[in-house]
Amino acid sequence: MPASHRFFVTAPRGLEPMLAAELRSLGVETAREQRGGVSLSGSLDIGYRICLWSRIANRVLLPVAEFRAADPDALHAGVQTIPWLEHIDPTATMAVDFTGIRAAIGHSRYAAQRSKDAVVDQIRDATGTRPSVDIESPDLRINVHMHGNLVTVAIDLSGDSLHRRGYRRPGSPATLKENLAAAVLLRGDWPAIAARGGGFVDPMCGSGTLAIEAAWIASDTAPALLRTRFGFLGWRGHRDALWKSLLDEALERQERGLAGMPPVIAYDQDAGAVREALDTVRRAGLSGRVHVERRELADAEPPPHRTTGLVAVNPPYGQRLDQDRELVTLYARLGDMLRQRFGGWTAIVLTGADAELGLRPERSWIVYNGPIRCRLERFVLETGQKDAPPAVRAESLNNRIARNRRQLSRWLQQEGISNYRIYDADIPEYALAVDIYGTEQGEWMHVQEYEPPATVNPRDARARLRAALATLPEALGIPSERLVLKVRRRQRGGTQYTRQAAEGRFLEVREGRCRLLVNLTDYLDTGLFLDHRPVRHWLGDNARDRRFLNLFCYTGAATVHAALGGARSTTSVDLSRTYLDWLNRNLRLNGLADPAHRLVHADCLQWLGRCREQFDLIFLDPPSFSKSKRMEGTLDIQRDHVELLQQVIARLAPGGVLVFSTNLRRFRLDKSGLSGVHIEDRTAWSIPRDFSRSPRIHQCYFLTRDNDGAV
């Protein structure tokens, strides 16, 4: 067998980024997130280690062939090219799983049958005997995946899905799969909390899955340690000594981890659920280590002497929450209990019901529990929190958004605009900015809450925000899972550019003829300043055959417009490698990967001091305030704009145009220090209709250099 293999590790829907992060924590440096899972390469040790240690993965697939097949006969022929006697004993049992994405062969059962025939026909022709089929517990499980007409054939090293840990009684009810339970705990930051000695409580434990997974994480127990069946055990390439060495290592780690495990408690008010949980805990080898007790929800409490920890809960979902008053009450009681009894703790709640806890989540994600779309919310519970008012609908907000849509709809359609601001604190009590981003998969809401002044009661602000978030999806006709919320506070220095999260999810949007990537989650800004839309279009319309310079270029949307507009060359300068990489992706997305489009990683002020080139068209959109080694250690755009503009004008070719924009609302341009240029205030023109409610959102000036080149 080769020393290095390709693997594909599958994950539950929506958990691919978490799986990639988990695999990197296991030492897999080659992990690359893809649709449905993570691809990687490495030794067989890596594949075995993932089978043993991944808490999120479903299956570990070892590809053995890749080919194209347009019909069942071609599929059969392709599968027959694989030397199957290297993988399976003729007397063993086997099963073939077939999956497809827009597959050329639409009948999955027939495709699986033809693939199975190819395997057994080859082995029978070579040996006179053939493997038999066992759908439930085969010695070897083969996965055939078809994307279009591209076929990948793989050995399923895991056999059964890895969410089956081995501690659940066969046939016992399970509302939450084990790997999703582990993902909930990881989102709740449980490994770090447990490492600090924090406790764990599940107040509605059901069969105990969350508590068991929490105990295994806290005790460093490998999630597959109890499993006796794996797909690789019936594979001829299996290396038994390697596998046993990994098991020995896992047992040693578990022994050390159990000795220092923090308290893990599971409560439920249903006696039957408590009995089921006790049995499951016993089967997991955790009797005496996970405390299970029957308690009413209101009586749940932290373990003694633990002031911090994690509360994880998967409450009932129901079907029609608007008609189920009991569920509404249950969620209210859950929120009250968390607020009153677990101050100083973190809570993570997975719910498929569109209910409110009366708490404001720190983060929120959409996950799928089987076919059920759920909301996963993380809360930081304040010490001494008081009761919060129930969530209510924000009818005035709903009405205002409907009015704004009526006023903007014809203009948006005529201009072909799909990324725009629909609401900007139009009503004082709902201090939000709501932006819409249109993708091929549907629209997204990017909601920013303006930090309320100190005179506003925080409790009232939280209640209004929850009411707004409950109203926006219906008002805009956008699913709640496509809502991203941020809090926009007064920024100091370069903090508006610092990372807020690490999801790394980019969406492709269109602006005119440009295709651009936005990231709604990871930064305060999304990578596309919507209020600069008219300026970007003007740059694109006026860039033909010009040398274009973009200073403080950010993610380079203006550069893409200029390049698509026929610029002879573009130069984009920024100190952030993150944003230059983002710009590079934007250029490639538009087929502009060309040496004519230069990216410069540098402090713009220092670069200007060294630059001797001239440009016909320059876009300058500097931060209002930024640290720098020049200009007394900082850039203050009001204080320093004359010196900065003088430097930029020096790089402007005769007859060239400098477009200067600033978001400093109180900015005043000092024209007395600027000579050799004609200055035109284009602010009113540059503010698009969807931002007309905020005429001071930015200022924009066109500076045109005299044709004689004098400065």
Q: How far apart are CA 266 and CA 277, in angstroms?
A: 8
Count CB atoms within 10 A of the CB of residue 476.
20
Take residue 443 and report the two structure tokens written for it: 């629209």
Cα 400 from chain centroid? 31
Take residue 181 and report the two structure tokens written for it: 């339970």
Q: Using CB atoms within 10 A of its CB, is residue 35 exposed (0-12), middle (13-18) or buried (19+)?
A: exposed
Model pLDDT, residue 351: 86
For 292-306, write each residue's pLDDT tens digit. 999 999 899 999 989
Tokens 């003007």 map to which residue? 538
Long-range contacts of 664-669 (CB under 8 A, 24+ apart): 664/624, 664/637, 664/638, 664/699, 665/696, 665/697, 666/638, 667/624, 667/637, 667/638, 667/641, 667/699, 668/638, 669/641, 669/699, 669/701
Q: How far apart are CA 330 and CA 357, in angstroms?
A: 9
3-state DSSP call for residue 469? helix
CB 498 within 8 A of CB 377: no
What one-character-per-residue DSSP string does 371-440 give?
TEEEEEEEEEPPTTPPP-PPP---HHHHHHHHHHHHHHHHHHHHHT--EEEEEES-STTS-EEEEEEEET
- Rounded (5°) CA angle 274-278-280: 115
Cα–Cα separations (whole angstroms), residue 287 to 292, 402, 499: 9, 57, 43
Cα 134 from chain centroid? 39
Take residue 287 and report the two structure tokens written for it: 């009797």
Q: How far apart are CA 658 and CA 86, in angstroms?
A: 68
How would you classify residue 676: left for phi > 0, otherwise alpha for psi between -120 and 50, otherwise beta? left
Phi and psi torsions of 290, nearest 5° = -110, 120
Q: How far apart are CA 534 and CA 248, in angstroms?
A: 64
Take residue 423 and report the two structure tokens written for it: 């609401």
CB-facing half-sphere around the CA of 170: CA atoms within 13 A: 0
Q: Which of 66, 43, 79, 44 is CA-nearest to residue 157?
A: 44
Count CB atoms within 10 A of the CB of residue 524.
16
Model pLDDT, residue 618: 98
Q: Could you tell me which residues come within 8 angstroms of residue 205 by beta carbon, excluding any fewer than 6 positions away? A: 211, 266, 267, 268, 273, 274, 277, 292
Model pLDDT, residue 626: 84
Take residue 282 and report the two structure tokens written for it: 């016993």
* Residue 686 one-letter amino acid: S
Model pLDDT, residue 393: 60
CB 375 within 8 A of CB 329: no
* Domains detected in the chain: 5-156 (3.30.2130.30), 178-219+263-380 (3.40.50.150), 395-492 (3.30.750.80), 529-705 (3.40.50.150)
Element (DSSP H or E) covering residue 679: strand 677-681
* Residue 35 one-letter amino acid: R
Residues of the chain scoring pLDDT < 50: 319-326, 385-391, 490-502, 629-632, 709-711
For 471-504, what is the HEC assignment? HHHHHHCCCHHHEEEEEECCCCCCHHHCECCCCC
For 320-335, what is the HEC assignment? CHHHCHHHHHHHHHHH
Q: Which of 661, 679, 653 is CA-nearest to residue 568?
A: 653
Model pLDDT, residue 496: 43
Q: How far apart are CA 472 and CA 362, in angstroms?
A: 18
Q: How many helices (H) and strands (E) does the chain have?
A: 18, 30
* Residue 191 one-letter amino acid: P
Model pLDDT, residue 389: 41
